[in-house]
Homo-oligomer: A and B are copies of this chain.
């Protein structure tokens, strides 16, 4: 017994000769009508193929969607494969689950109106904005939409909750560790500083232009530590690589190759992510460069792969899952005291990829 038209609360109500409010109550407030009538309504609804109150209409009236959106720098299909991002999503998902909220991954259609429109029209109660780029136009859209959001690893915005780590301090830790081991000759593998697809040595102009918050902070941390130890920054070769398309690990491998294949090879390489560092390890292995005998490598993130690598990777640990979870909680359950700035701790994890420089 299927109705020709999609049935609605009203059609059910008419069928039974009751008001549609009563049908609505049968679903949402059992205490507002007699059990017998409720039974009768639900039965009839089922027979008429009524799928229950339309969630869209209900949401329009009620005002709460029951889902939050997550916006990425890159296409979701890349982000989901990035171990660090995946861990953040994981932490966020666990909070969503506890709060029975859905998690909408908003496609990051690169450049242009499309990605923006998706933010304008996504059916959510708020957003997690996990994007590093300072001038991201989507941020304005988010603000225009007048919907709560929380920034993760993003440039700060006044009056908006923010979750991240002390990237600069973490980078200093990494550099200081290598300095303490006696290294004086450094290479750096950096994320891209400007969203233009460039790959190659970092130039002073690009360093200055730096439009990515995390990248700039980490680079500044490296620089501060090295310069404080009297190392000439111009002697430090930094290779920019885009972790997106081809995979961060391969980008790291290419950067490692660039650093290792030129004369005056560094004895230590600082990589801005573990994936980069693992790529450097591969580049070293391909060239028969012993790690840590001839080369020390320090990553950033402490993803699961870091511990499993051969040699295991010295790195800066940051609590990815906690980051996601914290952001989720700030969004779903905003503190009465207003927007927060949460800086999570970093920690140097010494493993087998770093050692004293050869006497």
A residues with CB within 8 A of B: 6, 49, 51-52, 55-60, 65-67, 69, 75-77, 80-81, 86-87, 89-91, 93-94, 96-97, 100-109, 114, 117-118, 120-123, 144-147, 310
Taking a contact as CB atoms under 8 Å apart, the answer to whether A102 and B75 are in contact is no
- For residue A324, which residue of chain B has the nearest CB? B77
Taking a contact as CB atoms under 8 Å apart, the answer to whether B93 and A75 are in contact is yes
In the complex the two chains form, what is the Cα distance from A103 to B80 in whole Å? 12
Do A56 and B65 form a contact, CB below 8 Å, given A90-B77, A100-B114, A107-B93? yes
Taking a contact as CB atoms under 8 Å apart, the answer to whether A59 and B109 are in contact is no
Taking a contact as CB atoms under 8 Å apart, the answer to whether A123 and B86 are in contact is no
**Which residues of B are found within 8 Å of A102, using beta-carbon distances?**
69, 104-107, 118, 122
In the complex the two chains form, what is the Cα distance from A96 to B109 in whole Å? 10
Taking a contact as CB atoms under 8 Å apart, the answer to whether A66 and B100 are in contact is no
Taking a contact as CB atoms under 8 Å apart, the answer to whether A90 and B81 are in contact is yes
User: Which of B67, B91, B147 is within 8 Å of A123, CB to CB?
Assistant: B67
User: Which of B49, B65, B76, B310 is within 8 Å of A97, CB to CB?
Assistant: B76
In the complex the two chains form, what is the Cα distance from A77 to B117 in whole Å? 28
Taking a contact as CB atoms under 8 Å apart, the answer to whether A93 and B80 are in contact is yes
- A111 CB to nearest chain B CB (Å): 13
Taking a contact as CB atoms under 8 Å apart, the answer to whether B107 and A144 are in contact is no
In the complex the two chains form, what is the Cα distance from A349 to B45 in whole Å? 53
Top 8 closest pairs, chain A to chain B, by CB? A77-B94, A76-B93, A97-B107, A55-B121, A77-B93, A103-B105, A123-B123, A104-B104
In the complex the two chains form, what is the Cα distance from A87 to B81 in whole Å? 8
**Which residues of B are found within 8 Å of A65, using beta-carbon distances?**
56, 123
- For residue A6, which residue of chain B has the nearest CB? B146
Q: Given contacts A51-B145, A102-B107, list 14 more A-B pairs with CB under 8 A.
A: A6-B146, A51-B147, A52-B145, A56-B123, A57-B60, A65-B123, A66-B121, A67-B104, A97-B108, A97-B109, A100-B109, A100-B114, A102-B118, A123-B123
In the complex the two chains form, what is the Cα distance from A195 to B222 in whole Å? 51
Do A56 and B59 form a contact, CB below 8 Å, given A65-B123, A77-B93, A97-B109? yes
**Which residues of B are found within 8 Å of A55, using beta-carbon distances?**
120-123
Taking a contact as CB atoms under 8 Å apart, the answer to whether A52 and B120 are in contact is yes
In the complex the two chains form, what is the Cα distance from A93 to B75 in whole Å? 8
Residue with the highest number of chain B CB atoms closer than 10 Å, among A122, A123, A146: A123
In the complex the two chains form, what is the Cα distance from A118 to B100 in whole Å? 8
**Which residues of B are found within 8 Å of A121, using beta-carbon distances?**
55, 58, 66
Residue with the highest number of chain B CB atoms closer than 10 Å, among A49, A55, A121, A146: A121
User: Which of B52, B103, B108 is within 8 Å of A144, CB to CB?
Assistant: B52
- For residue A57, which residue of chain B has the nearest CB? B60
- A122 CB to nearest chain B CB (Å): 6
In the complex the two chains form, what is the Cα distance from A118 to B97 in whole Å? 10
In the complex the two chains form, what is the Cα distance from A120 to B66 in whole Å? 12
**Which residues of B are found within 8 Å of A77, using beta-carbon distances?**
90-91, 93-94, 97
Taking a contact as CB atoms under 8 Å apart, the answer to whether B67 and A60 are in contact is no
A-B contact pairs, 26 of them (CB 8 A): A6-B146, A51-B144, A51-B145, A52-B120, A52-B145, A55-B120, A56-B56, A56-B59, A57-B60, A58-B121, A66-B118, A67-B122, A77-B90, A77-B91, A77-B97, A80-B86, A80-B93, A81-B90, A97-B109, A100-B107, A100-B109, A100-B117, A102-B106, A102-B122, A104-B104, A310-B310
